[in-house]
Amino acid sequence: MRAVTLALILSLALPGPGHAETRVPETSAEIAMGFAPVVRAAAPAVVNIYARRIVADRMNPFLDDPFFGPLFRDFGMAQPRLQNSLGSGVILSPEGLVVSNHHVVGGAQEIRVVMADRREFEARVILSDEDSDLAVLRLIGAPPDLPALPLRDSDGVEVGELVLAIGNPFGVGQTVTSGIISGLARYGAATGSARGWFIQTDAAINPGNSGGALVDVAGRLVGINTAILTRSGGSNGIGFAIPANLVARFLALAEAGADRFDRPWAGIAGQPVTQDLAEALGLAGPDGFLLSELHPQSPFAAAGLKAGDVILAIDGQAVNAPQDVIFRLSVAGTGAEVVATLWRDGRALTRPVRLDPPPDDPDPEPFEVPPGAVLGGLRVERINPRVIADLGLPLAAEGVAVTAAEGQAARAGLRRGDVVLAVNGRRIDRPRDLARALSEAPRRWSVEVLREGRRIELRFRI
């Protein structure tokens, strides 16, 4: 009875590429087919991906020891090891452009793509971004008439819609699972990602499904499956997919020949509006994102926004958290102009905001300590908006930031993202200040850094 009821409420897609028309099944034969027409149309465009990469494993007998592990983290020799990863991908261009997850293909030396009809192609990554966890691959030697999935406007997706997850879980071959859209605008601790913005589904997503397709009943791509949240390690959890609108932006950049994903910079900080704040501000409900800080070079500051304003929407889409803002700006893309709807002094206003990458101004003055010197392997830059964005630093951060720490710098305890405040009591404001401080030759050293909001003093001898 349940299967018949499900089929009756399902709007079946007409098979074949480019058909988005839907209708209610009319005959018992159509009801019995269930999702078969959707799978028949969509599955050929979903591929299996096998990636191989060489990683360096360090043989450290103290690695898992809670006391000795930190003390001997650099003990042992790095041994190269061949690592294989399994995932899925979706063909979005008949010319052979495939979208998958960065964590599936990032850093791979060899990538093999196997289609549903068992044809195999070598592939190379042409655009990849770790923060968005997206990658675009080009199939080598593929014909120009491959099956490709159409993209859906993911802003129109609603909770409760039926969807299918298609991928290669556990390497058993192409598999289809069904479910519904169970949530939208998921981010933060619930998803395991502080920066991502996801569509949530209860369709089973297992290891190997990463990079696969989440499609609607018309066979259109709703999102790229990327993760599952589960306490048992099985598929009895909730899955998350990267929305199709961000995938479309990423694909357009790849087709235009971009070699990196330039995400627009907001340069703002704040908090979601609570019920108490809404009452104090005269808002009808707890909606929007209250600005507490704007960087002087923020595009929102240039558009006239200020601390105390509430951003209600961007291009008509509601925003309630920093991840909402980042997602909307990423979809719009650099060089675009968006309309921000804000609440100020008891009334709604609109402001056009031009989107650009974070300015690399002032000059970062990069400085690297050579190997063999004190803090050898340390690389630093003067903090500017681009450095703030790259390292996730507070908007008010100033001075010198660590962009890499290897060798002796790592052994001294320095990490990427540290802000160097002082060396042996000498204040550090510019990379040249650090160079002068390191030119001295005392036996005892003290380095004061700001790490995740805490001041830490690192001491060592040479």
Going from the C-alpha of 50 to that of each of 138, 273, 449, the distances in angstroms are 14, 45, 42
CATH homologous superfamily, domain 154-255? Trypsin-like serine proteases (2.40.10.10)
Q: What is the CATH topology of the domain spanning 268-354?
A: Pdz3 Domain (2.30.42)
Q: Locate the domains of the chain by residue range.
A: 2-35, 45-140, 154-255, 268-354, 367-461
Contact 320, 277 (CB under 8 A): no
- Annotated catalytic residues are 103, 133, 210
CATH superfamily of the domain spanning 45-140: Trypsin-like serine proteases (2.40.10.10)
Angstrom distance (rounded) from CA 172 to CA 72? 40
Identical fold, 45-140 and 268-354: no
**Nearest-CA neighbor of 421 among 449, 442, 446, 386?**
449
Residue with tokens 């090891």: 81
For the domain spanning 367-461, the CATH number is 2.30.42.60
Q: Please give the Cα distance from 315 to 303 (Å, whole number).
A: 15
Counting DSSP H helices and E strands in the chain, the numbers are: 12, 27
Cross-strand partners of 89: 47
* pLDDT digit string, tens, across residues 296-320: 999 999 999 999 999 999 999 999 9
Inter-residue contact 108 to 79 (CB < 8 Å): no
Q: How confident is the model at residue 424 (pLDDT cuts 50, 70, 90)?
A: very high
* pLDDT above 70 for 342: yes
φ, ψ for residue 72, nearest 5 deg: -120, 35
Q: What 3-state class would DSSP assign to 23?
A: strand
Per-residue model confidence as pLDDT tens digits over 33-87:
578 889 989 999 999 999 886 655 555 554 544 444 554 455 555 555 555 668 8
- pTM for this prediction: 0.81
Rounded distance between C-alpha atoms, residue 281 and residue 319, angstroms:
17
